[in-house]
Homo-oligomer: A and B are copies of this chain.
Amino acid sequence: MIEAIRWSREAVLVLDQLQLPRKVEWVRCVRSDEVADCIAAMKIRGAPAIGVAAAMGLALGAREPAAREAVSLADFFAVISARMAATRPTAVNLTWAIGRMQQAFAAALPRGLEAVRAALEEEALEIARQDRETCAAMGRHGATLIPRDARVLTHCNTGSLATAGSGTALAVIREAHARGRVKLVYVDETRPYLQGARLTAWELAQDGIPQRLIADSMAAFLMARGEVDFVVLGADRIAANGDVANKIGTYGLSVQARHHGVPFYVAAPLSTVDVRKATGAGIPIEERPARELTELAGIAIAPEGVGVWNPSFDVTPHQHITGIITEVGVLRPPYWQSIPEAVLKSGETSGFSTA
């Protein structure tokens, strides 16, 4: 399974997902702000992977000469943390990972720079390790939900390129396929960034999982023909009531699934839950540049200067969601009950204090 990000003490290596599937190219970041640039430019993306990248980026920052030269190490760390937090507004794992790194930083600070460096490295690697375990657990919990010989539809990329492990929704699909339950995966190409066509189709091809690539607008017709048994996709942020912010197109799919009576599951680690957002209405929705829609690999596919609306995410109301697959099990409605219960039990709330 491909890794999206690698750590060494001298550098963070980011697999440039903008180049996939045409070439496998790694960006070598030696400064924290280079990692932040990779996140902002979507060279690395996917809520859990963004969290891991931010953590490694901050650990890298503490190793920069600038960290030693700073008058105040605490101020230096606050600055690189703020830069990291500003890269993407919707994924809460980013805030959560930065929060964990800030706690590790604060605990080590009295022991000096070398202690801080060691603590941040350890915490970043621990976040990555936990994410791998979390992916595997989601895979196990979700795989049992998928019916035999299922034709599964997914959206965006939620695999090993989006996490430090086997993925969220894709972990579920991988595990179900390993158990012989998946007949075919329908992959939404996921405009405008084409994460489905470029990344998910690539991951599935590497794993030898049978797939059909479709345009996003084809999913409804597939469902009408009775060719989709199960929908599973990821989340960028989950509100306390179970409303889910995820890649644009998720909401539309949820309406289609409801209309056609197809089970609709979200797979996400508990770090994706933002208990401070009572409903999805409070989740900020990132709007991305027009050229993501008007150009492709530098080629104009729309007239010069045309007006564009390019939200990167939408919000799916909890009523449309059959269940939320997490590392501690499958959460069921009413989510205002099951989500806080799971979060409090797991202790994953700690990260939120810092956002």
8 A Cβ contacts from A122-150 to B: none
A198 adjacent to B301 (CB under 8 Å):
yes
A220, B293: Cα distance in complex, Å: 17
Produce 1/0 per residue, A196-217, CB < 8 A to B: 0110011001000011111111
Number of chain A residues whose Cβ lies closer than 8 Å to a Cβ of chain B: 54
Listed by A's residue number, 23 A-B pairs whose Cβ atoms lie within 8 Å are A21-B300, A21-B302, A202-B303, A210-B307, A211-B306, A212-B307, A212-B308, A213-B302, A213-B307, A214-B308, A214-B309, A215-B248, A215-B249, A215-B293, A215-B310, A217-B249, A218-B249, A218-B310, A218-B314, A219-B252, A221-B248, A221-B311, A296-B297
Say yes or no for A189: interface residue by CB 8 A criterion: yes
Say yes or no for A22: interface residue by CB 8 A criterion: yes
Say yes or no for A2: interface residue by CB 8 A criterion: no
Say yes or no for A109: interface residue by CB 8 A criterion: no
Say yes or no for A251: interface residue by CB 8 A criterion: yes
Binding site of A, secondary structure by majority: helix, strand, loop or mixed? mixed
A216 adjacent to B217 (CB under 8 Å):
yes
Residues of A within 8 A of B (CB): 21-22, 186, 188-192, 194, 197-198, 201-202, 205, 210-222, 224, 248-249, 251-252, 255-256, 259, 293-294, 296-297, 299-311, 314-315
Shortest beta-carbon distance from A142 to chain B in Å: 23
Smallest Cβ-Cβ distance to A297: which chain B residue: B299
Q: Contacts of A310 on B, CB cut-off 8 Å?
A: 214-215, 218
Beyond A256-B255, A302-B201, A308-B214, whether A293 also contacts B189 by CB under 8 A is: yes
